[in-house]
Structure 1
C-alpha cells in the first residue's frame, strides 16, 4: 500500500472493462511504482513478521505464491527466506519489471479468477492488497480459486484496507488512470474465506504507518484444512 492509498498489485479478471482499466493503470505507473514501493517492507515491521510466520507455517523448501505481486518485492523477500516463489500479476509491465529485477522468482501474468497454476501447486500464498480490485460478486470466486491452487494444509495471508465503498483514482503520480479500489469489511472477507473452505487462524488490525495512507488495515491468516 502506498501513501496515495493504492495497492501493491493489480489482479483481476482479464477481459472485463473494470479489470482492463486496472491493467492499464498499473502498466502506466509500473516503473515509478517500483521506484517508490520496492523497498516498502523496510518500514513495515508487522508485515515482515506475518510474512515470516507464513514462511514458517509453510515449512522449509516449500513453494509459495505472491498473488498480486506487483514488481515483485514481496516475492523476493519470501525467496530470500529460502522459499521457491511464484509471483502472479495482471499487469504485463509489472511482470516484466519483476523478471528483470528478481530472477530468483518465477513470474506469471494472470488473474485471481483464473490463476495460472495447477491444483494444489502451492504450499502457501499471500495476497497483499490485491483483492481490493475485485467487485463484491467476484470475491467468492477468487477465494475459491486461491483454495484450488493451495495444497491441503497450506496457509494464506490476506491484507486489505478496512471500510466500505469504492475509491476511484484518476491521477496517479502525474499519470492519468482510471482504477477502482474497494475498501472491505473484515467480517465479510472472513466469511467469504470460510465459505471457500478456509479456516481463519488469526485476524489483526493496525493503524497506518506515518508514510502510508490514513486507512486502517486488516490481516487475515487462514489455512486450507487438510
Structure 2
C-alpha cells in the first residue's frame, strides 16, 4: 500500500449519490453537520471558507445563517453541485496540496474543514494555508473520523499512521489516512493553531428514528467522528 492518498478526486465518482446520502442521512445531517455548525458559532455577517465543501450541504446552512461563503473541493462534480445548491456562494476546484494563492492572507473569519483531513497527504502544509487566510480572532473547525473507531475497525498499531483502502456499504471505494489523535493535535500545533475545544459528538435524538442501531452505537461508543475548534496561535 503506498504511503500517500494522492491527487485523485475520489468522491467525483459518487458525488451525486453522496449528495442524496448526506442531505438527510444520520451521519451528516444529524451528527457531523450539527456538531460543526455549533462549533462555528454565530456566522451572520462573517466570511466562511468551506474547505473540501463537497456538494454544498454545510455551505447552504451557513448561507441560511447569514454568512458569506467561499468554498472549494478537489472534485469538479462536487463543485458543480455546490454552485447549483448554493448560488449565493462562490466555489472553485482546488487541491489542498496546492497553496490557496487565490485568497489573500487574513481574508476570512472562519474556516470549516469537515471530514476531509484524512484525504490530505501533507496535512501540516494544508492546515498552515488555512491558518494563513484566517483573520486575527478567527477559528478553524474541523471534523474527522474518530481514531479510536478507526483502530477498532482496522486493528494494527493505533499509533502508526498509514493509508488504508475500504469499500463502504454503498460500494464507494475510498483511500485515506488512519492516524492517532495525538498526531492530529501535533499537526494543528505545527501549523500554528491552538485547540480551543474538542468534542466527541452524539447524534441528535431524531436520528434514532432513522437508524436505531447506529444511534445507539454513536451515543455510547467512540466509533464515529470527532470535531475540533482551533484558533490561530497568537504567541
Instruction: Tell me, yes or no, if the aligned pair for 1:154 and 1:225 is still in contact at 8 Å.
Output: no
The 3-state SS of whatever aligns with 2:107 is coil
CA distance in 1, matches of 2:63, 2:131: 22
What SS is found at the alignment partner of 1:66? Answer: strand
Offset of residue 181 of structure 1: 1.7
Which structure's CA Rg is the greater one? 2
Q: Tell me the number of residue pairs that the alignment of Structure 1 and Structure 2 aligns.
A: 201
Give distance in 2, aligned partners of 1:47 and 1:34: 13
Query: Structure 1: how far apart are the matches of 2:146 and 2:30?
Result: 20
1:126 correspondence with 2:123: no
Q: Distance in 2 between matches of 1:151 and 1:106?
A: 19
Q: Could you say if the C-alpha distance between residues 132 and 96 of structure 1 is closer, same or farther in structure 2, counting changes exceeding 3 Å?
A: same
The CA distance in 2 between the partners of 1:47 and 1:94, in whole Å, is 17
Measure, in 2, the Cα distance between the counterparts of 1:172 and 1:217.
17
* Structure 2 match to 1:205: 200
Indicate the SS of the match to 1:152: strand
Q: Residue deviations 1:149-193, cap 9 Å, x none?
A: 111211111111133543313577346x4x312233222111211
Quote how far apart the aligned CAs of 1:82 are: 0.4
* Aligned counterparts of 1:187 and 1:99: Cα–Cα separation in 2: 36
CA RMSD of aligned residues (A): 2.6
Give secondary structure in 1 for the equivalent of 2:227: strand
- Structure 1 pair 37–184 and aligned structure 2 pair: CA distance change class (3 A): same
Deviation at 1:84, TM superposition (A): 0.4
- Give 3-state SS (helix, strand or coil) of 2:7's partner: helix
CA distance in 2, matches of 1:42, 1:206: 13
TM-fit CA distance, 1:206: 4.0
Q: Is contact 1:161–1:184 with CA below 8 Å preserved after alignment?
A: no
1:4 maps to: none
Change in CA separation of 1:201 and 1:217 when aligned onto 2, cut-off 3 Å = same
State the 4+ residue runs in structure 1 displaced beyond 6 angstroms: 211-214
- The answer to whether 1:215 aligns with 2:215 is no
For residues 30 and 125 of structure 2, what CA distance do their matches in structure 1 show?
A: 33
Alignment pair present for 1:180 and 2:165: no
In 1: Cα distance, 2:115 partner to 2:224 partner: 12
Q: Is the 8 A contact 1:207 1:215 kept in 2?
A: no
1:30 aligns with 2:38: no
The 5 A counterparts of 1:35-74 are 35-40=20-25, 41-44=28-31, 47-56=33-42, 60-74=44-58
**Other structure's SS at 2:228 match:** strand
Preserved CA contact (<8 Å) 1:204 1:218: yes
Partner of 2:123: 139
